[in-house]
Chains A and B, each alone.
Chain A
């Protein structure tokens, strides 16, 4: 098929031919074509099937509003469904296929649904598939899903990459038509930082599609000249192929730049970029969208919007038909006829629904006033139309104009509701606009070219004044306001057959009337019941006609009927672009502990804890599973000495004259008199009295503390302290800074911990129990002068220390500790062994401080000082939190020592049924204790502290497991604490 519909002229580059395929058929187009214009040039009118009835559909528009011509572009993993052919830029080698049909496009087996149309009226699935109830999920819904829908995904990983970015400007101009260009020129010459964004690949907007003259130049040429000047200015950023899709708070906009969609290959660069644009002011110059008129069988391929026909003829050098007919309710349709005639395309007739109008001389073309089209014919492409008087006109293209709607979408993104303007028979932006936004040109309901230019220039001058700049207005080109009167004519009432309002969702005039009849009177309800205005085009060509018909039904005006509003995105944004770089391993950043390299080299298996990668265990040859490794690590630590990287615990440096008082307010227990050189365990509550976080805080100096937090809450606690410092007690002299990343910290635990450390801590520091007892801290040096901090604290219950060195020495320090510990058979241990030992010792951790438990529940009631106030203290005293049967943290051991306890199990008193009413509490942490030789658990049970020795049912309905366990002290290991103090 050669380009048999190609005509002369246009803004395409005929010296750059491009080959592409549609459904495997090889075709040719030119640089500057869209896929739609190239298809039309090749005479391909049938391009898809409709959503519901699988009706043959062609190309309706020449822009982003396209409801019909949705295709799949590219192949394999790069296949992208639901792409509008009207905005897809042609490139050499493009492969496009039609979608939503079973069998070929020409012979779609699913077209049989069209015969069932009487049963598939508006809301049919709400009322048709009611019985039997069980069939909905298993039969009806899958059936509907299989038959309806648009394109399909490749189900392969997207091979392209995407990026995002941030831009800033004084003025963001959205749309580079005549209004946008004159605004950009004015703002740019005035020195403002301007971003001019347009979704098209060519600046000029409708100027490229019309034959208007500006300063005696063709509109497209004028646009090129303005664009050239703008390109030369350093304060202007021109962004073509960029759709500003959303207006957000504070002048922030979302924009999608299609960087390589017009290229065969992205060359390894991001295919699309999602920009966040921060603007001081914005100017919406998004133009207007033409609307069709509904009449019987108005959905056949070849029936197009009149403005689109002009675009194809004037911009792309393509005749959408050889014998075109124009059907209009406004003067705009006349221009379509004259443009076609000027290009040598036969116009069979100009049919104007208005009586008594006199179009200009159309060189003898038949003009029918007061005309109505009541039917059309042509199975896969339009072949004729029938007028109300029964006359049939043979035609292969019908250009329809039902008037224009200002493209107000972005004005609605912060709840602005457009208002009806009876003069232009369209909704225009209301006074409620996104912050900093103004609207100009056709988007503001100003349709005449000269008026639009004038208005845009004036609005821009006002914006510049707002910004404190003096406006250097660009001289306005000489232009005229085109004729533009029209009447309200939404559908041909004489139509006897289905007349489509929403082509994408197959919503007809009858559907809207039926919805109204069934009680859906609100536009919002109508939309959802009938699906009018849904899916990828969001009703850009259908909404107004739908509202008008609803208004007719109710006898109200359109203004009284109101309109739905729009939310982002203006046009579809691929999920890939929204995800950007956040895919796979780059989903989020990773934090590595200082000894990560050492751990990698020594067989560590890592676990993600928050963003941290922590060593979970260190497998050795011959070990059959993780339990072998973990048991060994626990046993060797308890037998001699183990080393664990605990850098991930939050560290907050707290200094100030009032630092001690500050901590006294933050923690439930007293810190005011903590001696220098000592560490104390501290518990924090939320404002509502629930336990928040715990850790140890060391006093390094009179006014200097170092707080540790749990790994998970490090950032939250820091934020909370900052809030307390700045907002609760601004009169205290307290200063906070995180040092989490600054220090590599290692737990050295086990009977030989002191002996090991004695080999690395520099003399003359005395590590003896007398000189450096349990809960002591000191600033020391190691390995011949490297500064270090030493804390005598124990999470494992062993004689233990935590030693910290500057993070840059962390990897080396792990190596040194292991070498120094070789003679003691030192072992590195990971988070699993750490967890086992803390459960054996009965320490609460994240499982216990889960946002539901109080200090009382945790057995830490004594830590809430009665002598001072602290955050959360008052509300922790609420009666409901202090009932006699409050849950208490206790230990559990299985009656049958071979039984494994499961975390998440619930406790039921023996003899009671396992029901919610009888729930006594839950198991929060479990582990196999290699020290005790059986499973152990920590859990909360009502009055647990009074029930020692009682055997309860441990029920896990989710896993179908039940065992019996005895309530015991949570301190399974060394309950007296002699080891850690030794």
Chain B
């Protein structure tokens, strides 16, 4: 038994707030691993990922989710993906387990603590996001399963459309409080 033990803190203390027509929730048990597809080894990487995760690689700018909803692949670029693994509070451990399965075919990096993740849902979530999100979130332009890297209030952000009125926002964990402030201000300004 070690003399000392460490306690994990959620970046926003597990924030959750219901504003009526918008609900914001911090996702605290999600492991995130980045995948880089080796130059010239893309086909093998795709095959291995499919074998391990049972998921085809989504096209750039879209997400693919496993049948049980526990794993989501985000195709951020031609050679870069994020793998979101839900209900995995030990991000590093989840990453390590996954990277071992993918070893040699995909370069992986633990990104679990790099990002703070929030879901924003509800009928007025789009109106709130209009105040900070420069990209077009109209359903015709940003369908369910679409994702984009953008900037909100100076902060780099990944936005994913989970459903008609639910989005996941990921931004740098060090500026989590400023990011939440931006989202809350937007909601308060439109409600």
B1 touches A808 (CB 8 A): no
* A741: interface (CB < 8 Å): yes
Give the dominant DSSP class at A's interface. Answer: mixed
Q: How far is the CA of A783 from the CA of B6 in the complex (A)?
A: 6
B18 within 8 Å of A by Cβ? no
Within B144-191, which residues are at the interface with A (CB < 8 Å)?
153-155, 172-179, 181-182, 185-186, 189
Contacts of A785 in B (CB 8 A): 2
CB distance from A602 to the nearest CB of B (A): 16
* A166 x B134 contact (CB < 8 A): yes
A655 at interface (Cβ–Cβ under 8 A)?
A: yes
B57 CB to closest chain A CB, in angstroms?
16
- Could you give, for residues 82-116 of chain B, a 1 whenever the CB lies within 8 Å of some chain A CB and a 0 otherwise? 00000000011100100000000001011111110
In contact, A591 and B138 (Cβ under 8 angstroms)? no
Name B136's closest neighbour in chain A (CB-CB).
A168
**B175 & A808 in contact (Cβ 8 Å cutoff):** no
Q: Does A656 contact B (CB under 8 A)?
A: yes
Given A590-B178, A655-B109, A784-B1, A739:B114 Cβ within 8 A:
yes
Is A653 close to B, CB under 8 A?
yes
Interface string of A276-311 (1 = CB under 8 A from B): 101000000000000000000000000000000000
Which residues of chain B come closer than 8 Å to A463, judged between CB atoms?
A: none
- Tell me which residues across on chain B come within 8 A of A812, comparing CB atoms: 6-9
Are B131 and A809 neighbours in the complex by a CB distance under 8 Å? no
A586 in the interface (beta carbon within 8 A): yes
Would A591 and B174 count as touching, CB distance under 8 A? yes
- Please give me the residue from chain A that is nearest to B142 by CB atom: A168
Closest to B37 in A: A735
Task: Say if the beta carbon of A19 comes within 8 Å of chain B.
Answer: no
Give the chain B neighbours of A269 by CB distance below 8 A. 189
Does B70 lie at the interface of the complex (its beta carbon under 8 Å from any beta carbon of A)?
no
Complex alpha-carbon distance, A783 and B8, angstroms = 12
Instruction: Check A733 against B38 for contact (C-beta < 8 Å).
Output: yes
A168–B140 alpha-carbon span in the complex (Å): 11
B3 at the interface (CB under 8 A from A): yes
What distance in Å separates the Cβ of B179 from its nearest Cβ neighbour in chain A? 7
Q: List residues of chain B with CB within 8 A of the CB of A742.
A: 110-114, 173
Measured between alpha carbons, how far is A193 from B114 in the docked complex, in Å?
A: 37
Interface bits A587-606 vs B (CB < 8 Å: 1, else 0): 01111111000000000000
Q: B177 contacts which of A590, A783, A787, A808 (Cβ < 8 Å)?
A: A590
Q: Does A947 contact B (CB under 8 A)?
A: no
Nearest CB of chain B from residue A151's CB, rounded to whole Å: 28
Instruction: Determine if A868 is an interface residue (Cβ-Cβ < 8 Å).
Output: no
Q: A163-B189, A820-B3 are in contact. Are A809 and B174 (CB under 8 A)?
A: no
Q: Judge if B34 is at the interface, Cβ distance under 8 Å.
A: yes
A654-674 contacts to B (CB < 8 Å): 655-657
**CB of A28 to closest CB in B, whole Å:** 33
**A interface footprint on B55-87 (CB within 8 Å = 1, 0 otherwise):** 000000000000000000000000110000000
Q: Which of A163, A166, A592, A783 contacts B133 (CB 8 A)?
A: A166
* A589 B9 Cβ-Cβ under 8 A: no
**A interface residues, how many (CB within 8 angstroms):** 63
Tell me the minimal C-beta distance from B26 to chain A in angstroms.
Answer: 12
B23-59 interface (Cβ within 8 A of A): 34, 36, 38-41
Shortest CB distance B60–A (Å): 15
CB distance from A824 to the nearest CB of B (A): 14
Q: Is A448's CB within 8 Å of the partner chain B?
A: no
Query: In the complex, what residues of A have CB within 8 A of residue B110's CB?
Result: 739, 742, 806
Give the residue name and chain of the B residue nearest to A813 (CB).
B6
Query: A808–B134 contact, CB under 8 A?
Result: no
Interfacial residues of chain A within 169-224, with CB under 8 A of chain B in the complex: 193
Q: How far is the CA of A816 from the CA of B3 in the complex (A)?
A: 10
Q: Are A806 and B92 in contact (CB under 8 A)?
A: yes
Chain A residue nearest to B32 in the complex (CB): A742
Given contact pairs A165-B131, A655-B109, A742-B111, A589 touches B153 in the complex (Cβ within 8 A):
yes
Shortest distance between the CB of A408 and any CB in chain B (Å): 29
Decide yes or no: A784 and B2 within 8 Å by CB, A163-B189, A589-B154, A655-B109 being known contacts: yes
Say which size band chain B's interface belongs to: 35 or more
| Contact with B113, one of A593, A737, A806 (Cβ below 8 angstroms) | A806
Question: Which residues does chain A contribute within 8 Å of B177, judged by CB atoms?
Answer: 590, 592
Pick from A166, A593, A741, A808: contact of B9, CB under 8 Å: A808
Shortest distance in angstroms between A725's beta carbon and chain B's nearest beta carbon? 10
Complex Cα distance A686/B107, Å?
29
Answer yes or no: A897 CB below 8 A from chain B CBs.
Answer: no
Closest CB in chain B relative to A912 CB, distance in Å: 49
For the complex, what is the distance from the CA of A586 to the CA of B189, rounded to whole Å?
15
Q: How long is the Cα–Cα vector from A731 to B175 in the complex, in angstroms? A: 35
Chain A, residue nearest B114 (CB): A742
Closest B residue to A762 by beta carbon equals: B2
The answer for the CA separation of A787 and B92 in the assembled complex, in Å, is 7
Give Cα A808–Cα B155 distance, bound, in whole angstroms: 20
Assembly CA distance A246 to B115 (angstroms): 36
CA distance A592 to B174 in the complex (A): 5
| A733 and B153 within 8 A (CB) | no
Whether B136 and A278, one on each chain, are in contact in the complex, defined by CB atoms closer than 8 angstroms, is: yes
* Alpha-carbon distance between A492 and B166 when the two chains are bound, in angstroms: 66
Contact, CB under 8 Å: A581 / B138: no
In the complex, the answer to whether B153 meets A741 with C-beta atoms within 8 Å is: no
* Interface pair B40/A759, CB less than 8 Å apart: no
Interface string of B127-141 (1 = CB under 8 A from A): 000111111101011
Nearest residue (CB) in A for B107 is A655
CB contacts (< 8 Å) of B10 on chain A: these are: 808
Q: Does A963 contact B (CB under 8 A)?
A: no
Find residues 760-807 in chain A having any chain B CB closer than 8 Å to their own CB.
Answer: 760, 762, 782-787, 805-807
Residues of A contacting B80 in the complex (Cβ-Cβ under 8 angstroms): 735, 737
Which chain B positions have C-beta within 8 A of A586? 181
The reply to whether B112 and A657 form a contact with Cβ atoms under 8 Å apart is no
Is A811 engaged at the interface, CB distance under 8 Å to the other chain?
yes
Q: Whole-angstrom distance between the alpha carbons of A742 and B110 in the complex? A: 8
For residue A847, CB closer than 8 A to chain B, the reply is: no
A588-B138 Cα distance, complex, nearest whole Å: 28
Cβ contacts under 8 Å, A865 to chain B: none
Chain A proximity of B65: nearest CB distance (Å): 22
In the complex, the answer to whether B39 meets A733 with C-beta atoms within 8 Å is: yes
Question: In whole Å, how far is B144's beta carbon from the nearest beta carbon of chain A?
Answer: 18
* Chain A: minimal CB distance from B164 (Å): 14
Q: Shortest beta-carbon distance, A192 to chain B, in Å?
A: 11
Q: Which of A167, A703, A816 has the most CB of B within 10 A?
A: A816
> Do A168 and B11 touch across chains, with their CB atoms under 8 A apart?
no
Within the complex, which residue of B8, B93, B154 is in contact with A808, where a contact is CB–CB below 8 Å? B8
Asked if A784 and B175 make an inter-chain contact with CB atoms under 8 angstroms apart, the answer reads no
Quick check: B7 and A806 within 8 Å, CB to CB? no
Q: Is A653 within 8 A of B109, CB to CB? A: yes
Query: In the complex, A168 Cα to B148 Cα: how many Å?
Result: 16
A149 at the interface (CB under 8 A from B): no
16 example contacts (A-B, Cβ-Cβ < 8 A) are as follows A163-B186, A165-B130, A166-B134, A167-B130, A581-B182, A653-B109, A656-B36, A733-B41, A735-B79, A739-B110, A740-B114, A742-B113, A759-B4, A782-B6, A812-B7, A816-B5
Instruction: Identify the 4 closest CB pairs spanning chains A and B, nearest first.
Output: A784-B2, A735-B36, A589-B178, A733-B39
Extra 6 A-B pairs, beta carbons < 8 Å, given A166-B132, A594-B174: A161-B189, A586-B181, A653-B109, A704-B107, A737-B80, A811-B9
Q: Contact residues of B with A, CB < 8 Å? A: 1-11, 34, 36, 38-41, 79-80, 91-93, 96, 107, 109-115, 130-136, 138, 140-141, 153-155, 172-179, 181-182, 185-186, 189
